[in-house]
Structure 1
Amino acid sequence: MVVDKNASGLRMKVDGKWLYLSEELVKKHPGGAVIEQYRNSDATHIFHAFHEGSSQAYKQLDLLKKHGEHDEFLEKQLEKRLDKVDINVSAYDVSVAQEKKMVESFEKLRQKLHDDGLMKANETYFLFKAISTLSIMAFAFYLQYLGWYITSACLLALAWQQFGWLTHEFCHQQPTKNRPLNDTISLFFGNFLQGFSRDWWKDKHNTHHAATNVIDHDGDIDLAPLFAFIPGDLCKYKASFEKAILKIVPYQHLYFTAMLPMLRFSWTGQSVQWVFKENQMEYKVYQRNAFWEQATIVGHWAWVFYQLFLLPTWPLRVAYFIISQMGGGLLIAHVVTFNHNSVDKYPANSRILNNFAALQILTTRNMTPSPFIDWLWGGLNYQIEHHLFPTMPRCNLNACMKYVKEWCKENNLPYLVDDYFDGYAMNLQQLKNMAEHIQAKAA
């Protein structure tokens, strides 16, 4: 099949073949907009990482590969991409020859993990995690009934954090190979119990996985107007209120920590906005899910406000709401801001997108593991392993770590792992780098 290079649609490379996806097929993508991140790029390993165990996805891939072809023009375009170093922005300097060896080596690693059983679902483990987390929430409600209101609020915050990790895992299809079941459970845990829209989170988070720390791709590093991580962020301050906020950004490394508890307000707010726009979104999957997304988010806030109504006084209601919401925000934020914010970013058109393994390793920092941290962080302290193999069950990430460390050593890649305060200091340093840049420009 000869493809018109000016035709609408999307081209990406998978398993050595350039595939053409029509505009209609792109809009039907079950994962939504994340597929756009690998336009004109090699999506081989991101495809396998995301579609582990999906017979439907591999069936569709086989159909597309029948018409796949070698495209010399696009191959040369990939090799021409050069990165420009800037503040908090690194250059991907792996040669094309090294990259090919690395990609082949990573494929062998992925197969070895399969052979050793580390990709196998563990339903019993996740059943235990679900029951234990539901128990935390139930105990929070019981403490409220007993009149231990502040303790109840703190425990509810912890339950929301732990449901965040469980929802994350069900959305990544870790607990079972039954994808519809995983999606249904994630709707219950995520939307109804936690208040975060599953589809909003998938759209945001899958894009983050696909293009981690890549400028103009990864929304997790676009925190303007409150924070600026790279010089390019300064171009986003156009509205009058944004220009006003820009005056405090030179102090962002000082107020960043104080903003962490606000994360839950931000994410629940974005979730509400998302679900009530879902009917009009261009991707079919969002339109299909809109009703249940909306119903479960409404259900979440119904039980939250009813719970507050049961408290005896207004001061207690306000205190309970603030402690539970901000406590939940802090418990999630101190984790999700650690792994990537402390590491450099890469330009939007970087060739690193063609080297999935290098992208994840060079943009990710692990937190030093321990049994307590493994539980509190929901396994996200093994962020490198999780980003390389997002469908791998949490309980196997520790065992996977030794494989990945060895692979990094063989391929001359760093394996970043630090204690919390060391990693957090590097996070603040990234913010300080930009703060000093803004101050220098203003001088």
Structure 2
Amino acid sequence: MKFTGKHESKGTLVGKNQPYLGDKLQVNRKPKANGKVEDHVKQEANGKLSLSGKSLNRYTWQEIQQHNQEADQWLVINRKVYNITNWIHRHPGGRLVLQHYAGEDATDAFRAMHLDLDVVRVYLKPLLIGELAPEEPSQERNKSSQLVEDFQELRRSLEDKNMFKANLGFFSLHLIQILILEAVAWLLLWNLGSGWMVTILVSFLLTISQAQASFLQHDVGHLSIFKKSKWNHLMHKFVMCHLKGLSANWWNYRHFQHHVKPNIYPKDPDINTGPLFVLGDLQPVKYGKKKIKYLDYEKQHLYFYIGALPLLMPVYFNLQSIQVMFIRGYWMDIVWVSSFYIRYLITFGTFYGIFGTVLLIYIVKFLESPWIAYVTQMSHLPMKMGQEENQDWVSIQVLATCNVEQSFFNDWFTGHLNFQIEHHLFPTMPRHNYHKVAPLVRSLCAKHGLPYVDKPMLKAFGDIVRALKKYGAIWADAYYTT
């Protein structure tokens, strides 16, 4: 199938009010009234469908699940079957995000990750090849259809309540906070000079600024803060590249994989930490039985303090961002990231010189690193990890995440990522609404017997180390006894 990348300026997938991709979805039901609905689908006597003159086949789940190889990939969205084989390399979110759902129902993942459905419809149109046979369920048979239906009903109700509408003022205040912290740091140097005490205070202010910029870029990377997508795109470049000095594209492709398949090995890049750490119940056994010992993993909970905590931001993320930018040719990101270093040299070079300014940058990243490491790992690393089980969207997200108790400080310190369960279920929901939907999500989990884990922050920090110690012990047992 060839796809040119062109589309009609006024086109949609089938019709503007076609039921299977719009905001007004009702799975296995009639679409809600939203103007006139054009009936493009006519059933033919031969068992095929005619869609605007195009003949479409019907498929069973058994047939669809066979198309999950790198050179042959199908997926299902709202009972429609798409051949994505030739599209994955053009997917703005990266090919692996789609590849992870090959042969599966991707309805909830698709809806969770996309903001502008009208645009996406246009790009899906040439990929449509058929639909599920009428006797087939909307999801694979091993999934809980009632849980899926309840979750989709919850999402519709949240959309009706405008829970996905971002408050521009809220995010503007966070941006102002970041800029004020940097301005105060510069003013301190300008008025007091670059002595040791002032430098320590400047580093402290810049560390807070950088950490809050990390949370803001996370928001902009997921959300539609502005009405026009080009402004969201530019804002993400500004915050991630210009304020943080990291590639926006690198973050997108890595982070979106984490969202669609969290804690699933090897699909989630956040748990592909070998050879430094072995995580979960399966990877330690695999390494142990193969006698793999790059490091003494039985002590990984100890070297986490001297390795992962201080080096995550200045070494691992920074070098990986640079590597990806140059290898994949993200030239616009390179220009934006260069502006980060130029800005620091202009602002602080007068006081510290070139070498001193570069050193200041990495001291700040070094100080920021434990903050970000704790916040990002506390909600995932102690939770369920394993290989692909083809579970429904809700189960995947809830079992792989946990929350940290709400307080004003916890919300600010974590950038509202203490509501990790809600964030993973609804990645495009603005964080200022997480606390409003948390009780509804908790009720959904209780109804279907899913654990809704909410813990104190210090316990969440400690659980990181306890989990690493547990995984290291599993490795040692497999390494020394098999």
TM-score (norm: length of structure 1): 0.84
Pick from 110, 115, 125 the counterpart of residue 160 of structure 2: 115
Pick from 77, 97, 103 the counterpart of residue 40 of structure 1: 103
SS of structure 2 residue aligned to 1:68: strand
> What whole-Å deviation, never above 9, does each CA across 1:56-107 have from its counterpart, x for those lacking one?
0134346645x3222699989955xxxxxxxxxxxxxxx54xx111000100
Partner in structure 1 of residue 310 of structure 2: 261
Partner in structure 1 of residue 411 of structure 2: 374
Q: Is the Cα contact below 8 Å between 1:228 and 1:234 reproduced in 2?
A: no
Structure 1 residue 136: Cα displacement: 1.5
Structure 1 residue 370: Cα displacement: 0.5
Q: In structure 1, give the amino acid aligned to 2:229.
A: R
Find out whether 1:291 has 2:341 as its counterpart.
Answer: no
Structure 1 residue 194: Cα displacement: 0.4
Q: Is the Cα contact below 8 Å between 1:369 and 1:381 reproduced in 2?
A: yes
Partner in structure 2 of residue 213 of structure 1: 263
Q: In structure 1, give the amino acid aligned to 2:321.
A: S
Q: Is the Cα contact below 8 Å between 2:299 and 2:472 reproduced in 1?
A: yes
Stretches of structure 1 that go unaligned for 5 or more consecutive residues are: 80-94, 280-289
SS of structure 1 residue aligned to 2:76: strand
C-alpha separation in 2, matches of 1:154 and 1:245: 35
> What whole-Å deviation, never above 9, does each CA across 1:174-205 have from its counterpart, x for those lacking one?
42342221111110110111012100000010
Partner in structure 1 of residue 368 of structure 2: 328
Q: In structure 1, give the amino acid aligned to 2:305.
A: T
Pick from 390, 395, 402 the counterpart of residue 439 of structure 2: 402
Q: CA RMSD in A?
A: 3.0
- Kindly tell me: are residues 311 and 165 of structure 1, through their superposed partners in 2, closer, same or farther at Cα, counting changes over 3 Å? same
> What whole-Å deviation, never above 9, does each CA across 1:38-68 have from its counterpart, x for those lacking one?
1111110010111133420134346645x32
C-alpha separation in 2, matches of 1:74 and 1:432: 45
C-alpha separation in 2, matches of 1:234 and 1:311: 53
C-alpha separation in 2, matches of 1:73 and 1:32: 33
Find out whether 1:170 has 2:200 as its counterpart.
Answer: no
C-alpha separation in 2, matches of 1:306 and 1:106: 51
C-alpha separation in 1, matches of 2:152 and 2:265: 26
C-alpha separation in 1, matches of 2:111 and 2:231: 20
C-alpha separation in 1, matches of 2:136 and 2:326: 39
C-alpha separation in 1, matches of 2:109 and 2:273: 25
Q: In structure 2, give the amino acid aligned to 1:253.
A: H
Alignment map for 1:21-420 (pairs within 5 Å): 21-23=84-86, 25-33=87-95, 34-61=97-124, 64-65=127-128, 67-70=129-132, 78-79=140-141, 96=143, 99-145=144-190, 146-147=192-193, 148-230=198-280, 231-232=282-283, 245-246=294-295, 248-258=296-306, 259-265=308-314, 266-279=316-329, 290-305=330-345, 309-312=349-352, 320-348=360-388, 350-352=389-391, 355-420=392-457
Structure 1 residue 425: Cα displacement: 2.6
Q: In structure 1, give the amino acid aligned to 2:390.
A: R
**Larger Cα Rg: Structure 1 or Structure 2?**
2
Stretches of structure 2 that go unaligned for 5 or more consecutive residues are: 1-55
C-alpha separation in 2, matches of 1:77 and 1:54: 21
SS of structure 2 residue aligned to 1:19: strand
SS of structure 1 residue aligned to 2:419: helix
Q: In structure 2, give the amino acid aligned to 1:201.
A: W
Partner in structure 2 of residue 431 of structure 1: 468
Q: Which protein has the bigger helix share?
A: 1
Q: In structure 1, give the amino acid aligned to 2:116.
A: G
Q: In structure 1, give the amino acid aligned to 2:113.
A: F
Structure 1 residue 324: Cα displacement: 1.0
- Kindly tell me: are residues 74 and 233 of structure 1, through their superposed partners in 2, closer, same or farther at Cα, counting changes over 3 Å? farther
- Kindly tell me: are residues 28 and 309 of structure 1, through their superposed partners in 2, closer, same or farther at Cα, counting changes over 3 Å? same
- Kindly tell me: are residues 73 and 276 of structure 1, through their superposed partners in 2, closer, same or farther at Cα, counting changes over 3 Å? farther
Q: Is the Cα contact below 8 Å between 1:200 and 1:275 reproduced in 2?
A: yes
Aligned residues: 408
